[in-house]
Structure 1
Amino acid sequence: MKLRMGLQARFLVLMGVAMLVVLALVALLLNRQEQMRREVEGVSRQAMRTMIGQSLRRQGEVAVTQLAAGLTNPLYYSDLDAVGALARSAQAAPDVRYVIVFDEDGKVVHDGSEDIAHYGRHMDDAMAKDVIAATALHTQFDDRVMDVSMPIMIGQQRVGGVRIGYDMQAMRRLQEQSVDKLRSRLDTLGQRHVIWIGLLGAGLLVFGALSLWLIQRLLVRPIRRLAESAQEIEAGHFDTTTTADGRNDEVGDLMRAFDRMSRSLARHDREIRRMAYTDALTGLANRLAFRESLDERLAQSDTRQLALLFADIDDFKRVNDTLGHDAGDDVLLECAHRIESAVARVGGEDALLARFGGDEFVILVQGTDDPHDDVRTLATKLAEALVVDLGAPVEVQGRQVFLGTSIGITLFPEDAASGTTLMKNGDIAMYQAKVAGKNCFRFYSRAMNQAVERRVHLEQELRGAWDRGELSLVYQPVFRLVDGAMIGAEALLRWRHPELGFVAPSVFIDVAEQSGLIEVLGPQVLHAACSDAVAWQKVRKDPEPLFVAVNVSPRQLRNGDLPNVVSACLRDTGLAADLLHLELTETAVIGDELHASALLSELRGMGVRVWLDDFGTGFSGLSHLRRVPVDGVKIDRSFVADVLRDPDDLALTTAIIAMAHSLGILVVAEGVEKEGQYAILRERGCDFAQGYWLGHPVTVDEFLQLRR
């Protein structure tokens, strides 16, 4: 039986010997030598610092004691010449920075100079306070000087004192000189150790060379062969074979296992690529596959134009929210089939289609050699077909769902030179199609970039605007037409930016709605309006308290948490529920009547009043008012503006008032700016009105003053 010396055993033997030699002869000696050197140098430095410091302190105390004794009579008799002579004599001593003789009040009598520049000045340095207060020998230190002071006494009477300052740098220089000598001695000893370590290192080099030769023969060569095979596999050549050369050790086992792995990878490569490049739900190409194909087309395209269509299904989220994600998947499959059919019918043979994620699809079409059939015309035909096909109702769970699509189109090379920029431009154009009303298409233009950048900047500035105090509420009074009494006020949000100035509500409210910021701003506005309403109730007690009307966005309504938010605001502020009126646009309510009806019924059950805002501008109908529980409607200002000169607007306004009253619903007219409008609305039975003729929006302080 042939004995097997495994690679692991060989490696462990070599490494064990190497580790023993390195640890025993090199690492231990060097580490220990350096450690001992640091310890000796540190201990010596500390000992010398202590010894020199004590010596300097004793020297200073003796000197200041002798000087104080010699200064007693000259200071008592104010003999400045004698005082100066003694001070200069003391100042001439080594390492003395200053000598100061002072009187009992801490004023300088002599500083050892010829002209006594500081004579009569009160000592105000950092150590002076302790020096003046000292009644005996006193020593204190800082980073630069050691100050030794001694009061000068005649009997029990203190006539002054003297202080000597010693330079600490001298002590440090002496200390460093001693440490340098010690370091030199240690360096000499270290050099001897290095010689020995060099000899040991030479031995290690010989040993290392032998070890490297063995490792090269037994380990490196086989691993290099495996690495070359791995590079072949990485390049896509999965049929690479690796021979073990009859080795009966772990490397041989590894090489044989590597050979089996390469054959297995070749079998599964086709399945892996299919999974990596295909969307699991629709079976279309996914984002990764499309990007690779797009980059390849852009690299190959020299003269032909390309058009990228970025399609997003409109209001798809509503399907998931109302019917569930399973129904949403069914709708996505149907949309994918319709898009695939339209692309096959209109897009041409070279068209690429992929699901980019969620409800987004991308299509790449290529122009032909026919000059009359350029890529722009082809993209327009395909976009028109997609709008028609996806605008048709989708049957899901026994219900018809109407969606539509918004499509952005961008061209290569006119609009972009890279795939990333092309995708970005398509997304921007798609967003503009949504802004334009959805279910349509738009071509990219450079002006769109600027519009998107402005909108992004506006969104960034809007974040935190409430906390910075840039957003505020104003209140427009609402009056009853029968007797002209003020019965409430509508809360309106205003934004005054420090640089942009006054930003129109129609602009920033839309940004807040699209970005989702309205879900943060909405509760803040509601809470502030309820608090202000409580404040103005306290100004004057009326038999009929004033209500406050607050607008609620469609996004807040779809969120489903609106009743909890309203309940929390009423509880926190203490406002009566019947004094809070919530205003919702009719398009927001009609979009999902079942969901909206449930939420509005819950709000009305709390006592909150619900108004339908901008009534008449959408797809209003009596059937909607019957199915959606509301307390009143607000006639849009566009009807009120022409009620005096346009018979049609007068007829529509009269019909809305009559229709609402027949259902027991109150009516508010917006935008009353003329006395004639007020009179005709009162004549036709309108209940309430608001507008500039009746009262401009005012701040809460102005509204409180109006109440008074």
Structure 2
Amino acid sequence: MKFFEGLQAKFMVLIGLTLVVMLGVIAMIWQRQTATQAEVLKLSQDATRVLVYDRLRQRGESQVSQAADLLVNPVYYFDLDAIGATTRSILRQPDVSYVLVYDAKGSILHDGSGDIPTFGQRMADPLAQRIVSADGPRVLSTDEVIDVSNPILIGDQRLGGVRVGYSLGKIRTEEAHVNHEIAERLRELGNRHLAWIGLLLLMLVSLAVLVAMLLQRALVRPIRQLSQAAREIEAGNFSTELPVNGRRDEVGTLVRAFARMADSIERHDRDMRRMAYTDSLTGLANRLAFRETLDHRLMQLRGAGRQLALLFADIDDFKRVNDTLGHDVGDEVLIQFANRIREAVQRAGGDASELARFGGDEFVILLYAEGDHVDVRASAAHLAETLVAELSRPIVVQDRQVFLGTSIGVTLFPEDASGATMLMKNGDIAMYQAKVAGKNCYRFYSRAMDQAVSRRVRIEQDLRGAWERGELTLAYQPIYRVSDKTLLGAEALLRWQHPVHGQVAPSVFIDVAEQSGLIETIGPAVIRAACKDAMRWRHDGADELFVSVNISARQLRSGDFREQVMAALADSGLPPHLMHVELTETAVLGDEEQARRILSSLREVGIKVWLDDFGTGFSGLSHLRRVPVDGVKIDRSFIADVLRDPDDLALTTAIIAMAHSLGMTVVAEGVEKEGQCDLLRTRGCDLAQGYWLGHPMNMRDFTALVG
């Protein structure tokens, strides 16, 4: 402080001696100093603001775009669990204020919370209308947040969108702190420089010029270099050179602070890129990274006469794991699956392969030829066979064995398509065909698959709302007692009268309803309608006629199947003992423990359970010992040749005897000849149905029959 006061005294003496000459010089130097400080401060503030805000905007656009891609299938299938998993992963980030997933009308589907209190509410904030009406990504901001939104599209159809709000509070605090630090440093430097200028002016006017030059070199140039470096960093060039920071003064401190800030931004950018290109659960490349790799490979191979293959692998019935064992177990299963796929790909594909997780339970492998004489098709087939075999082995999670299969679709470049988009579409189509073929297998893409998928899509679209439009109706096929041909009940059969194509075969649309999930809407409606129709029979005098309803595996696994049946009985007033449910062996095989629990609860209230298409499944009579059923229905394939095929006769006789020994009713399907009925009577079969006994008929005709 004394040193500073001595400088002031010398400065005042010199000012007194050279006031007239140097006053103008001092004013000019001070004005220049002030202007330089203001310019430096403004440049630093602008550079900091632009850099931070632009990084947040770019991060938001990337993250929301990726979230929109991940949410296509969950929003399309209304999978709130998958939507919640994605939103919560974003919401956990410290600067995210909210995450909203909304439908095409702007109603909230998920907000990242556990119980979704805002579900179904319209977004009513000031930005909502502009976001919902936007055709593409949009970045909006308020005083509190930057709102980044992106529509969720499937093809040209808009399913809704996702929006994420990033808090500006932390950014403003950091910005204010940095600006304050810079201002303080500049103010300190200004005061020091003013003292140096005064000292030099007191010594010599010529020395003042030298001091000005030194100031220019010591202060203005580093600050300008920092400003230039900030602009380079803003442009994404993190390798730009910073001024030498070996100085120990305030400028050196400022340069080192700027260097640390630049390193922090570079690390943040690196982390953001890693997050954008890596699947957080498995550590594999994600969809974005894989697409860039695929585009790069296609550019390399285009015109070179070489091939590559895409393999789309989807875990069969993975939703059952999440529904029955929980999402934590599901994540562990996915991790083990990913490790197995990685090991199999490394063994079978070597370095000529790339692996990525596309989200959910879908994995994609890129396999390309390293030499001109490599048969990519054969390599892809070998890899697919290896994956099917490896992934069929049980996975042990929490001391439990989980059995899952994998459906794989394979498409080739350039045979099937020349672009990345079409290749990925074709691989997805082939994978779906593998599922249709029975799952746990692989299929190569073919042109005919496009037509099959198009037909399926049209059927699914037309099937939506078909029940409400009255196109879906119930037909009833009589079931008779074989001994005296007494009518005891009827099986409810679903029929679809398409307004354009006419009668659609059940074998065509039932599978579509099952695979698309529409059966979970149609099935309960069928149960309610069948119960109400059975009550009409009772009112017409047929007091003890039962009605049997076919139940799909998906309905049985829905979680509320028992409640659906009990609600239908309560609404209609039908006694439980007149309600029969029919399930196939494959439906029971899906989750035997769950099926046993549900069927036992139904039988406790008097509902009968029949095992349909018996003898055609994989388990045979072994299921009769473990699953509670009241009867079995012998599949029509055995009855068709029972008169001329001794093997079918022997099997039918054995099924009847075995079922009777267990106290079960036996029903024969597909009885189309009198001789078949007579033979079944001699073998002790209890009930029968078929065209010889009665065709499926509408409610009016069946009412006339029982009347």
Contact 1:226 1:242 in 2 (8 A): no
Contact 1:579 1:608 in 2 (8 A): yes
1:392 matched residue in structure 2: 393
Contact 1:474 1:491 in 2 (8 A): yes
Aligned residues: 492
1:343 matched residue in structure 2: 345
Secondary structure class of the residue paired with 1:704: helix
Contact 1:238 1:266 in 2 (8 A): no
1:401 matched residue in structure 2: 402
| Structure 2 Cα separation of the partners of residues 423 and 584 of structure 1 | 37
2:105 matched residue in structure 1: none
Contact 1:551 1:584 in 2 (8 A): yes
Whichever residue aligns with residue 570 of structure 2, its letter is R
1:586 to 2:585 alignment: yes
Cα displacement (A) at 1:335? 1.8
Secondary structure class of the residue paired with 1:356: strand
| Structure 2 Cα separation of the partners of residues 398 and 290 of structure 1 | 34
| Structure 2 Cα separation of the partners of residues 461 and 321 of structure 1 | 29
| Structure 2 Cα separation of the partners of residues 326 and 460 of structure 1 | 34
* 1:19-418 matched pairs, under 5 angstroms: 229-230=230-231, 232-239=233-240, 241=242, 260-302=260-302, 303=304, 304-371=306-373, 373-418=374-419
Cα displacement (A) at 1:258? 6.4
Whichever residue aligns with residue 341 of structure 2, its letter is I
| Structure 1 Cα separation of the partners of residues 260 and 609 of structure 2 | 73
1:354-407 deviations in Å (ceiling 9; x for gaps)? 111121111101113242x22111111111111121122222333333222111
2:574 matched residue in structure 1: 575
Using a 3 Å threshold, how does the CA distance of structure 1 residues 686 and 703 change in structure 2: closer, same or farther? same
1:458-516 deviations in Å (ceiling 9; x for gaps)? 10000011111111111000000111100001110100111111110011000000000
2:82 matched residue in structure 1: none
Cα displacement (A) at 1:282? 1.9
| Structure 2 Cα separation of the partners of residues 656 and 287 of structure 1 | 52
2:66 matched residue in structure 1: none
Using a 3 Å threshold, how does the CA distance of structure 1 residues 455 and 258 change in structure 2: closer, same or farther? farther
Contact 1:308 1:410 in 2 (8 A): yes
Cα displacement (A) at 1:319? 2.3
Whichever residue aligns with residue 536 of structure 1, its letter is W
Contact 1:229 1:242 in 2 (8 A): no
| Structure 1 Cα separation of the partners of residues 318 and 474 of structure 2 | 34
| Structure 2 Cα separation of the partners of residues 482 and 239 of structure 1 | 95
Contact 1:239 1:266 in 2 (8 A): no
1:505 to 2:497 alignment: no
1:45-87 deviations in Å (ceiling 9; x for gaps)? xxxxxxxxxxxxxxxxxxxxxxxxxxxxxxxxxxxxxxxxxxx
Contact 1:471 1:495 in 2 (8 A): yes
| Structure 2 Cα separation of the partners of residues 492 and 541 of structure 1 | 20
1:698 matched residue in structure 2: 697
Whichever residue aligns with residue 432 of structure 2, its letter is Y
| Structure 1 Cα separation of the partners of residues 234 and 382 of structure 2 | 45
| Structure 2 Cα separation of the partners of residues 7 and 393 of structure 1 | 70
| Structure 1 Cα separation of the partners of residues 325 and 287 of structure 2 | 27
Whichever residue aligns with residue 397 of structure 1, its letter is Q
Whichever residue aligns with residue 651 of structure 1, its letter is A
1:657 to 2:656 alignment: yes
Contact 2:595 2:627 in 1 (8 A): yes
Contact 1:242 1:256 in 2 (8 A): no
Contact 2:232 2:240 in 1 (8 A): no
Using a 3 Å threshold, how does the CA distance of structure 1 residues 571 and 232 change in structure 2: closer, same or farther? same
Contact 2:225 2:243 in 1 (8 A): no
Cα displacement (A) at 1:592? 1.2
- Farther-moved stretch of structure 1 (326-335 vs 295-304): 326-335
- Farther-moved stretch of structure 1 (471-480 vs 354-363): 354-363
1:686 matched residue in structure 2: 685
Contact 1:672 1:689 in 2 (8 A): yes
Cα displacement (A) at 1:609? 1.1
Cα displacement (A) at 1:273? 3.2
| Structure 1 Cα separation of the partners of residues 301 and 326 of structure 2 | 43
* 1:522-671 matched pairs, under 5 angstroms: 522-542=523-543, 545-671=544-670
Using a 3 Å threshold, how does the CA distance of structure 1 residues 380 and 620 change in structure 2: closer, same or farther? closer
- Higher Cα radius of gyration: 1
2:177 matched residue in structure 1: none
- Farther-moved stretch of structure 1 (470-479 vs 411-420): 411-420
Q: Could you tell me the TM-score, scaled by structure 1's length?
A: 0.65
1:299-358 deviations in Å (ceiling 9; x for gaps)? 222312111111112222222223332332232222222211221112132210111112
| Structure 1 Cα separation of the partners of residues 231 and 567 of structure 2 | 64
Contact 2:477 2:696 in 1 (8 A): yes
Whichever residue aligns with residue 322 of structure 2, its letter is N
Contact 2:476 2:490 in 1 (8 A): yes
- Farther-moved stretch of structure 1 (223-232 vs 283-292): 223-232
| Structure 2 Cα separation of the partners of residues 335 and 351 of structure 1 | 17
1:466 matched residue in structure 2: 467
- Farther-moved stretch of structure 1 (268-277 vs 591-600): 268-277
Using a 3 Å threshold, how does the CA distance of structure 1 residues 293 and 652 change in structure 2: closer, same or farther? same
- Farther-moved stretch of structure 1 (319-328 vs 677-686): 319-328
1:450 to 2:459 alignment: no
| Structure 2 Cα separation of the partners of residues 298 and 511 of structure 1 | 35
| Structure 1 Cα separation of the partners of residues 231 and 652 of structure 2 | 80
1:42 matched residue in structure 2: none
Cα displacement (A) at 1:591? 2.0
Using a 3 Å threshold, how does the CA distance of structure 1 residues 263 and 674 change in structure 2: closer, same or farther? same
| Structure 2 Cα separation of the partners of residues 562 and 391 of structure 1 | 29
Secondary structure class of the residue paired with 1:368: coil
| Structure 2 Cα separation of the partners of residues 276 and 571 of structure 1 | 53
1:85-120 deviations in Å (ceiling 9; x for gaps)? xxxxxxxxxxxxxxxxxxxxxxxxxxxxxxxxxxxx
Q: Which runs of 5+ in 1 are unaligned?
A: 12-221, 245-251
1:435 to 2:436 alignment: yes
Percent of pairs with identical residues? 66
CA RMSD of aligned residues (A): 3.0
Using a 3 Å threshold, how does the CA distance of structure 1 residues 374 and 577 change in structure 2: closer, same or farther? same
Q: Could you tell me the TM-score, scaled by structure 2's length?
A: 0.65
Contact 1:240 1:259 in 2 (8 A): no
Contact 2:352 2:369 in 1 (8 A): no
Secondary structure class of the residue paired with 1:263: helix
1:605-656 deviations in Å (ceiling 9; x for gaps)? 2221111111111023333112111111111100111111111111111111
Contact 2:611 2:629 in 1 (8 A): yes
| Structure 2 Cα separation of the partners of residues 257 and 492 of structure 1 | 77
Using a 3 Å threshold, how does the CA distance of structure 1 residues 660 and 254 change in structure 2: closer, same or farther? farther
Secondary structure class of the residue paired with 1:559: coil
- Farther-moved stretch of structure 1 (664-673 vs 405-414): 405-414
Cα displacement (A) at 1:563? 0.9
Secondary structure class of the residue paired with 1:266: helix
Contact 1:522 1:556 in 2 (8 A): yes
Contact 2:409 2:434 in 1 (8 A): yes
| Structure 2 Cα separation of the partners of residues 223 and 527 of structure 1 | 79
Whichever residue aligns with residue 556 of structure 2, its letter is L
| Structure 2 Cα separation of the partners of residues 617 and 647 of structure 1 | 18
Secondary structure class of the residue paired with 1:427: helix
1:174 matched residue in structure 2: none
Contact 1:242 1:258 in 2 (8 A): no
Whichever residue aligns with residue 262 of structure 1, its letter is A
| Structure 2 Cα separation of the partners of residues 501 and 488 of structure 1 | 28
1:13-70 deviations in Å (ceiling 9; x for gaps)? xxxxxxxxxxxxxxxxxxxxxxxxxxxxxxxxxxxxxxxxxxxxxxxxxxxxxxxxxx
| Structure 2 Cα separation of the partners of residues 224 and 424 of structure 1 | 50
